[in-house]
Each structure stands twice: as structure tokens, then as C-alpha cells.
Amino acid sequence: MKPEFPPGNMPGHVGIIMDGNGRWAEMKGLPRVEGHRRGAERAKEIIEASKEFGVKALTLYAFSLENWQRPKAEVAMIMKLLEVYLRREMYEFVKEGIHFRAAGDLNRLPQGVRNLVAQAEALTSACKNMVLTAAISYGGRDEIVRAVKKALQSGASPQDISESSFADLLDTKGLPDPDLIIRTSGEKRISNFLLWQSAYSELYFTDTLWPEFGREELLGALRDYQVRDRRFGAVKL
């Protein structure tokens, strides 16, 4: 069944900080990894729903650079989960016309995950329905520093650098800035996610923990966005 949206004003690009897997598991008396497993299932549901609702780009914060500091066993389980997820879902992405991309310092990922990321990117590169970016081993400041390094390495001079040429050096090259950023689990901060790109993003916070964030809640967030008044720093005359 098609959802009833008021006409127009849909976010083209939605970013999601998927937070609260650990707390969800702890509340249920389960190991944290069960929260991540359930979180990955939710990611699948939300990817499908986003496409259905006409979102053109979806960026999911799956693993931050700071997350590398978690206990070794938890990091290993998340990496395994990513591997299993990508191996299985990349064919689904092709079927659904979803172009998969990754953002982040991929050099730090285990070789197996890196290979699968490259394979999924290549396999889906011609897909046109939606761009799905997985931010993995990602930090917004790190992305900006890596972009500065790329500019210096290319021998660019100050007059070559503009906001748009700089944006082309970021991992999100070619994507529009996110219109809407959703964060689950009640925390109200950006946590190093898409720092450059979120300059004018609308923010939506919900107390729902990520493993409980379903299609209906996504619909609620999109509807909330639709009635916002975005002025980008200007006044309406």
C-alpha cells in the first residue's frame, strides 16, 4: 500500500545515526551483539522503506572511527555482521536498483569486508533507484582531513579551492547534502556524522532505540520533515 504523503517537499537525501543497539539488548537481557544483529535487520527494512517512499539517497552510520575503541570481541562481531550482511544483500541491492557506496577510512577494515565493499560497489554502480551509502569506519573530521590531504597532494593552489571543489574530495562526492538527519535512542548530537554535509540539514531525534525503529517511524520522520520551513539562513519575503 502506498503511504499518503502530502504533495512535495520530500527529503531527497536522508542520513540516519542508528543508535541504541547495545541498550536495546541490555534491556532485554541479551548480549550486545544481539542488538547489532537486530539492528542490521532494521537497516534492511529501512532501506526498503526509504526506496518505497521515494528517498533518492540514504546514508546509514554503521560504524564510526570511535567505534574501533570498543572491546575487540564486539568489533569483531560487528565486522562479521557487516561481512555476512554485504555478502547476502548485494544481490538484493541489484534487484532493487540500489547503488551501494561506502564512506569512511576503509583502509582500517579487515580485508574481507573491504573486498565485499568493493564488490558491492562495482556490482551496483549502474543502479538508479536510490544511492545507499554505508558510513563504515567513518568520522566527519577525518573525512575533511583526508580531503585536505587529497587537495594538497593534487598540487591545488588556494584559488582552485571552492566549497564545491572541496565537496568533490569528500567520500560523498556527487551526492546532494542530506536534507534530513535522523538519530535514534534519545541522544541529541551529531557525533562526527557528515559534519561538512549537514550544514543545513534538518534534524530529527527520537527516543526509539534503533532495533525498534521501523517503517512507520520512518514515515513519521518524513512527515515531520515535510512541514518544516527551511530558509537556509535567508528570510522569506
Quick one: which of 10, 14, 16, 19 contacts ligand FPP (CB under 6 A)?
19
Q: Which of 225, 128, 152 is nearest to 182 (CA)?
A: 225
- Residue that the C-alpha cell 541491492 belongs to: 93
Q: Strand 98-103 vs strand 130-138: parallel, antiparallel, or unpaired? A: parallel
Judged by CB under 6 A, does residue 21 bind ligand FPP?
Answer: yes
Distance linking the first and last C-alpha atoms of the chain: 39
Shorter beta-carbon distance to ligand FPP: residue 160 or 187: 187
Pattern 103-142, ligand FPP, x by CB under 6 A: -------------------------------x--------
CB 16 within 8 A of CB 59: yes
Q: Cα–Cα distances in Å, from 106 out to 26, 65, 112, 134, 145?
A: 30, 10, 11, 11, 15
Quick one: which of 82, 116, 120, 218 contacts ligand FPP (CB under 6 A)?
82
Question: Is residue 142 among the annotated active site residues?
Answer: no
Shorter beta-carbon distance to ligand FPP: residue 21 or 192: 21
> CA-to-CA distance for 4 and 192, rounded, in angstroms?
34
Quick one: which of 10, 14, 18, 182 contacts ligand FPP (CB under 6 A)?
18
Judged by CB under 6 A, does residue 208 bind ligand FPP?
Answer: no
Among the residue ranges 36-44, 107-115, 154-162, 197-205, the one whose residues contact ligand FPP (CB under 6 A) = 36-44
Quick one: which of 63, 100, 193, 225 contacts ligand FPP (CB under 6 A)?
63
> CA-to-CA distance for 189 and 175, rounded, in angstroms?
23
Q: Which ranges of the chain would DSSP assign to H, the alpha helix?
A: 21-27, 32-52, 72-96, 111-123, 140-153, 163-167, 215-226
Quick one: which of 12, 23, 96, 144 contacts ligand FPP (CB under 6 A)?
23
Judged by CB under 6 A, does residue 60 bind ligand FPP?
Answer: yes
> CA-to-CA distance for 3 and 111, rounded, in angstroms?
41
Question: Is residue 171 among the annotated active site residues?
Answer: no
Rg (the chain; Cα; Å): 18
**Catalytic (active-site) positions:** 19, 67
Chain residues binding ligand FPP by CB under 6 A are 18-23, 36, 39-40, 43, 60, 62-63, 67, 78, 81-82, 85, 134
